[in-house]
Structure 1
Amino acid sequence: MSNRSYDLIVIGSGTAATVVAMGCRKAGWTVALIDHRPFGGTCALRGCDPKKVLVAAAEVMDGVRRMGEKGVIHGDAHIDWPALQRFKRSFTDPVPDKREQAYSRSGIDAFHGRARFTGPDMVMVEGHAELQGRHLVIAAGAEPVRLPIDGAEHLAVSDDFLALEHLPKRLLLVGGGYIGFEFAHIAARAGAKVTILHRGKHPLAGFDPDLVAMLVERTRALGVDIRLDHEVKAVRKSGSGFAVEVRGPKTTVTLETDLAVHSAGRVPALAALDLAAAGIAHDRGRLTLDETFRSVSNAAIYAAGDAAGGPLPLTPVAGLQAHAVVANLLEGKRAGVDYTGIPSTVFTLPPLARVGLLEAEARAQGLRFRVKYQSVADWYTARRVNEPCYAFKVLVEEGSERILGAHLLGPEAGEVINLFGFAMRSGLTAASIKHATFAYPSAASDIESMLP
């Protein structure tokens, strides 16, 4: 092993890591980048992108079945899971080599191996070298939260589900968040018998509860067994599958499944870094940073993306944070990020989307606002595709006419929410949007009727 010095060391190779590394390298800095997993990060390899490829197949099945009583003869339409996975890999397999080649062309020294701090500005790369950095950026992404379950090691994680060569007949999902609902909608439409176990009474925390309740019913109608207020206590091997002990409100039961998947959330991937060796402050699994994403206890350290533990664990947010870090490093700025108008979507069928404040959050802040909440399955957008689940809730502030929040469930919600987000980020009022002219008939043309 040898010691090397750099202007910047970046831990991770996802969106945030790549933006920071490339930005500083273009400015002439010497840059090293480290990742123990294939280069590319979660979104491109093990998250957003491959998941959305699988969702595409589920969308086709959903459309065929919805329109089956409206003139579409589908016969034996089904998902060939191995073929779908081959298609998915055509997106993911090229990424690591392309990313490594991009680093090399840019003059970034890229290291494969685990990173571990050995001092305030020192990082040991497993099997390679000890590196010294004038600045260091933690952009290592997130990992599944550790669950206090006996036999938790038997739980597969989201990476495993997305890489399955063959879909099991019985799938059990531990947790009712993004991952659980999205995987349930994919797997059920691919023919699996799916169960979601959620330990609380309210799944999909962070989304409008009225719309979530509608999505839960739509998901149950798909054949997914959703059990709320059910906590997993133990997972044991049972023949070729698993026995899952579950405590419900009234009794404890054991469920048999072919595969049990951890879908109960993710946390910043910090455990293996030895933060104490670098004097990096953290609290309850999250780095303690100032508004510029700089460590409050070690001025050489910054963080971005999921590792920074920000308010929205989204790829676009990681990019925004990374650009702010680059500005702070290169120009000595005190840049933060404005999170106004950043939408998020659960890619179920139909999708559930949100931007801005929840109704309860707006009331807690003492804001005065109008609310329009409707279930509109009779609107053209839903009837055209025979979708029985279409609803919205929009909050507009009295006086300023600012859009405080928009919440959508239904066809193309993941696209339409972007228009609400753009309006909020651009400071457009509800009146301004009402004066817009949208293509008709399109889902976007519903926006005017959604405004209170």
Structure 2
Amino acid sequence: MKKSFDVVVIGTGEAGSAVAMRCRAAGRSVAIVDSRPFGGTCGLRGCDPKKVLVGAAEIIDRKRRMEGQGVAGDLRIDWPELIRFKATFTDPFPRQREDGFVEAGVEPFHGRARFLDQRSIEVGEDVLDGAHLVVAVGAWPAKLGIRGEHHLTRSDQFLDLQELPRRIVFVGGGYIGFEFGHIAARAGATVTILHQGARPLRHFDQDLVARLMERTRDVSIDVRTGTKVTGVEGAPGNFKVAALTDSGPEMFEADMVVHAAGRAPEVDDLDLSAAGVEFDRRGIRVNGHLQSVSNPAVYAAGDAANSGGLPETPLAQYEGGLVAENIVEGNQRTADYLGMASVVYSIPALGAVGMTEEEAHTKGLNFTVNQADTSGWYSARRVAEPASMYKILIEKDSGRILGAHLLGPEADEFANVFALAIRADVRADALKHALFVYPTQASNMAWML
């Protein structure tokens, strides 16, 4: 059946949902398509379920840190029960999201989309025409091109494990490797992270990453850098992971091997060429309005867009809103990613807002660097956290905060303060004299600036 709409959205995650709901609120006819349960990565396969597991791991870690400091007794993670608790958040979500679309007047379609031409897609037996089409399909584990790649467990599969394997190898030292590695270690697994490069978490400040690496190894997670995985063979419970290191070939044994080597936009099977949409390994090529550079009828948002933004849920929501506004108003706004925060939910968390030192130097900026180990400060000592640091970049002449890098308790929430300061152009002197509640992480700011 052929149907026509003002806007056709592919993807029901945070970016696609923002586009659909805002365009519908503006009076446009809207269709939305997904081949998976409605809700996208964040609500079903990423941020939300992951943070449930992180919360349990944090309790275990804090109890261990506080042993001998007034806390005693046994505590452990019951993995099957934890996964059942996680499911209370994820299981109802697809129906809730789809019902929300229907109530708003957005017409839902289930199936994989494929472009037929510049303004239409095929979904099963339906053909959907759109004055505007928005690609917001998110990302998928990147193809690694290694032998036995089909043996790798995806992050979404990890989040549904009914039993936690005893020995886990993570291929890659990015967000997934560190976050899921820290969860698994606190739940009792033996964890190894194999990272090809010389430095993991390369988008974060490397001094803080180095301290996080020490903390990671202190909880018996084996982090190997300069280790290129070349193949996986065997079966669940008896995998062998082949790798090349500076000292030669090495073999690692595991009950499960997890893909943690990055994600890529899931656009390969959309047949974008039929719509004349240019794309590369980072996604659909877009202009500042998030409009395809080669087909003006098509927009992209979130992980599907090569926009230069970070792979973060708030950015996907922001881009979805921006796309909706540009469709409705006619390309009046361009994307602005100033002050975007990013956090690795390791234990402790690692946060970053704004520029790194390398980026600030590359731009030729004149700035000072305020940094310190804060493990002896009250905010870290009271919870016995040995890994706590910060690094703040401040432009000398203007007092602008160029970047903030945080490791330690509540680093995720503290990063939000700096994100607001950078985006709202609140200068260092103003923040330094703010009257924050004590004792909190924000109350440390006067000493950091």
Instruction: From the superposition, tell whether residues 309 and 74 of structure 1 become closer, same or farther in structure 2 (CA, over 3 Å).
Output: farther
Partner residue of 2:59? 60
Equivalent positions of 1:108-127 (< 5 A) are 108-126=106-124
Q: Is residue 70 from structure 1 mapped to residue 69 from structure 2 by the alignment?
A: yes
Cα deviations by residue, 1:185-216 (Å, 9 ceiling, x for unpaired): 10000000000000011000100000000000
Contact preservation (8 Å) 2:341, 2:419: yes
Q: What is the CA distance between 1:250 and its match in structure 2?
A: 0.6
Q: Is residue 199 from structure 1 mapped to residue 199 from structure 2 by the alignment?
A: no
How far apart are the structure 2 equivalents of 1:140 and 1:286?
A: 10
Contact preservation (8 Å) 1:12, 1:139: yes
Contact preservation (8 Å) 2:5, 2:129: yes
Equivalent positions of 1:93-242 (< 5 A) are 93-126=91-124, 128-238=125-235, 240-242=237-239
Contact preservation (8 Å) 2:285, 2:306: no
Q: 1:294 aligns with which of 291, 295, 298?
A: 291
Contact preservation (8 Å) 2:391, 2:406: yes
Partner residue of 1:248? 245
How far apart are the structure 1 equivalents of 2:178 and 2:73?
A: 25
Contact preservation (8 Å) 2:132, 2:297: yes
Q: What is the CA distance between 1:240 and its match in structure 2?
A: 3.5
Return the letter of the residue paired with 1:199.
Answer: Q
Cα deviations by residue, 1:366-406 (Å, 9 ceiling, x for unpaired): 00001011112111111101111110000000111000000
Contact preservation (8 Å) 1:9, 1:137: yes
Partner residue of 1:280? 277
Q: Secondary structure at the match of 1:415?
A: helix
Partner residue of 1:79? 77
Partner residue of 1:376? 374
Q: What is the CA distance between 1:285 and its match in structure 2?
A: 4.7
Partner residue of 1:344? 342
How many correspondences in the alignment? Answer: 448
How far apart are the structure 2 equivalents of 1:357 and 1:100?
A: 38
Q: What is the CA distance between 1:169 and its match in structure 2?
A: 0.3
Q: What is the CA distance between 1:230 and its match in structure 2?
A: 0.3
Q: What is the CA distance between 1:286 and its match in structure 2?
A: 2.2
Partner residue of 2:401? 403
Equivalent positions of 1:432-451 (< 5 A) are 432-451=430-449
Q: Secondary structure at the match of 2:163?
A: coil
Q: What is the CA distance between 1:335 and its match in structure 2?
A: 1.1
Q: Secondary structure at the match of 1:68?
A: coil
Return the letter of the residue paired with 1:37.
Answer: R
Equivalent positions of 1:326-365 (< 5 A) are 326-365=324-363
Q: What is the CA distance between 1:239 and its match in structure 2?
A: 6.8
Q: Secondary structure at the match of 1:295?
A: coil
Partner residue of 1:316? 314
How far apart are the structure 1 equivalents of 2:97 and 2:236?
A: 41
Contact preservation (8 Å) 2:237, 2:254: no
Q: What is the CA distance between 1:324 and its match in structure 2?
A: 1.1
Return the letter of the residue paired with 1:155.
Answer: L
Contact preservation (8 Å) 1:270, 1:285: no
Q: Secondary structure at the match of 2:66?
A: helix
Structure 1 gap segments, 5+ residues each: none
How far apart are the structure 1 equivalents of 2:34 and 2:72?
A: 49
Partner residue of 2:90? 92
How far apart are the structure 1 equivalents of 2:385 and 2:15?
A: 37
Return the letter of the residue paired with 2:69.
Answer: K
How far apart are the structure 2 equivalents of 1:348 and 1:55?
A: 8
Partner residue of 2:419? 421
Return the letter of the residue paired with 1:197.
Answer: L
Partner residue of 1:34? 33
Contact preservation (8 Å) 1:139, 1:305: yes
Contact preservation (8 Å) 1:321, 1:336: no
Cα deviations by residue, 1:222-270 (Å, 9 ceiling, x for unpaired): 0001010001000011474311101111121111101000001111110
Q: Secondary structure at the match of 1:386?
A: coil
Q: Secondary structure at the match of 2:67?
A: helix
How far apart are the structure 1 equivalents of 2:161 and 2:236?
A: 19
Partner residue of 1:24? 23
How far apart are the structure 1 equivalents of 2:253 and 2:280?
A: 38
Return the letter of the residue paired with 1:17.
Answer: G
Q: Secondary structure at the match of 1:136?
A: strand
Q: CA RMSD in A?
A: 1.0
Return the letter of the residue paired with 1:40.
Answer: G
Percent sequence identity over matched residues?
50
How far apart are the structure 1 equivalents of 2:88 and 2:334?
A: 36
Q: Secondary structure at the match of 2:168?
A: strand
More displaced, 84-93 or 238-247?
238-247
How far apart are the structure 2 equivalents of 1:28 and 1:258?
A: 53
Q: Secondary structure at the match of 1:252?
A: strand
Contact preservation (8 Å) 1:233, 1:247: yes
How far apart are the structure 2 equivalents of 1:285 and 1:444?
A: 36
How far apart are the structure 1 equivalents of 2:422 and 2:430?
A: 11
Partner residue of 1:392? 390
Return the letter of the residue paired with 1:71.
Answer: G
Q: What is the CA distance between 1:67 and its match in structure 2?
A: 0.2
Contact preservation (8 Å) 1:65, 1:74: no
Cα deviations by residue, 1:277-302 (Å, 9 ceiling, x for unpaired): 11101233521111100011111000
Cα deviations by residue, 1:104-128 (Å, 9 ceiling, x for unpaired): 11111101100000111110002x3
